[in-house]
Amino acid sequence: MIKKLGLSAAIGVASLSLTSHALGDSSSQIWDMVVKEAEGQTVYWNAWGGSTQINDYIAWVGENLEDEYDIEVVHVKLDDTANAVSAVVAEKAAGKDENGSIDLIWINGENFASMKRQGLLYGPDWTQNLPNWQYVDVENKPTITTDFTIPTDGMESPWGMAKLVFFHDSARTSPEEMPDSADELLKWAAENPGRFSYPQPPDFIGSSFLKQVLIEQVEDRSLLQQSADEVNFEEVSKPLFDYLDELHPNLWREAKAFPRDYPSMSQLLADGELDITFAFNPATASSAIANDELPDTVRSFTFSEGTLGNTHFVAIPYNANAKAGALVLANFLISPEAQLRKQDPAFWGDPTVLAMGKLSEEQADAFNKLDLGVATLRPDELGPALDEPHPSWMTKIEEKWLARYGAAN
């Protein structure tokens, strides 16, 4: 069967038995065959390219894959993951079911839901057959197996955790002044006009802010776990847009313009034009401080009742040309070595998906000794993680936002 299907598909169809310590003999043999097939392949990895630190980390990953496996990793830099999804859709429509142009996509949320719904993903059940899956914290991080309410079914491999966190410069504003909820933020903005903004949707960070406000403003949060098409969207979303109508006159440039993305918004904090910004990574500020992009007086805060939390993944298109190489790359991304470097704010600061109890004592000690940075909140300070709404909510919210406010920008 392996010969008939090709080594690149072997791990996806074999019934592998992983233990918490090592692969069984047959599984090791199959993985060795996948690694052999991957030699000399070029993996076109479509991933967001808007951060120097992340781009540098991906380049480091590529160097390791080249040195260890003779795999070339080409980072295809995206400003919107939806563009990669559209490319796979176009290839399927053209009947290009093999030798696709994309081998791996950094993905989650509505983009994953769209690809899964349209049958555009390789799988199911390849992720748990990766050798390094033994280290992944599936027991305590439910968003690893459920992406924005959609079961992953082993079609995407986790490689980082996310939690919405806010930042301010303590040289200009005190922690006691910082809002502790969306309602308090609305009041703060009215008292400090022009000192807050958010990236314009459909930027992911900007849309995430809209979801945070929606979750806090909606009367029945359980409705957000359903498809937006199955409820009265206009009625349920009305509190969000009432909130934005009140907020916008007090935003930076009176909401006549918005930051393009997180780096643009962060630069406004560094330049003293904004007093509050936010990101989906608790270590973002510390990483920026370490790279001289923000002053060392920047500090983090969050809302005590909770902020959005999720996992981000990599997935393989159904028609990927270098499936074996993509599997080896996905496996490396969840290795203790790669996860340790990624969590270090000197390189990125992205929280790990691994369970410390599944690592060796030496590996866990290395994680525990990481200096997460002066601006990074401890895990017990991050507050509860709020569940992401069904991915259809982001799509409809973005559409309504653009119709309501986009024409003015």
Q: Which CATH class is domain 165-309+383-408?
A: alpha beta
How far is Cα 250 from Cα 185, in angstroms, rounded to an integer? 11
Percent of the chain at pLDDT > 70 equals: 93
Summarised one tens digit per residue, pLDDT across range 77-108 is 999 999 999 999 999 999 999 999 999 999 99
DSSP letter (8 states) at residue 134: G
- Please give the pLDDT value at position 409: 54
Q: Is 149 left (phi over 0), alpha (psi -120 to 50) or beta?
A: left
Summarised one tens digit per residue, pLDDT across range 369-380 is 999 899 999 877
Would you say the CATH fold of 165-309+383-408 matches that of 2-160+312-376? yes
pLDDT over 70 at 4, yes or no: no
Q: Between residues 21 and 103, which one has the greater pLDDT?
A: 103
Three-state DSSP state, 76: strand
32-56 as b/e, with b when 16 or more CB fall inside 10 Å? Answer: ebbbebbeebebbbbbbebbebbee
How far is Cα 344 from Cα 340, in angstroms, rounded to an integer? 6
Q: Within its chain, how far is the Cα of 63 from the centroid?
A: 22
Question: Which residue in 16, 8, 44, 5 sits closest to 133, CA to CA?
Answer: 16
- Please give the pLDDT value at position 246: 98
Q: Between residues 408 and 4, which one has the greater pLDDT?
A: 408
- Please give the pLDDT value at position 16: 35
Question: Which residue in 247, 273, 275 sits closest to 190, CA to CA?
Answer: 247
Mean confidence (pLDDT) of the chain: 91
Burial of 203 (0-12, 13-18, 19+ CB in 10 A): buried
pLDDT over 60 at 2, yes or no: no
| 144's tokens | 């690893």
Average pLDDT over residues 314-339: 97
CATH number for the domain running over 2-160+312-376: 3.40.190.10
Summarised one tens digit per residue, pLDDT across range 337-377 is 999 999 998 899 899 999 999 999 999 999 999 998 999 99
- Please give the pLDDT value at position 408: 52
- Please give the pLDDT value at position 28: 82
Q: Structural domain boundaries of the chain?
A: 2-160+312-376, 165-309+383-408
pLDDT over 90 at 239, yes or no: yes
Bridge partners, residue 315, by sequence:
105, 156
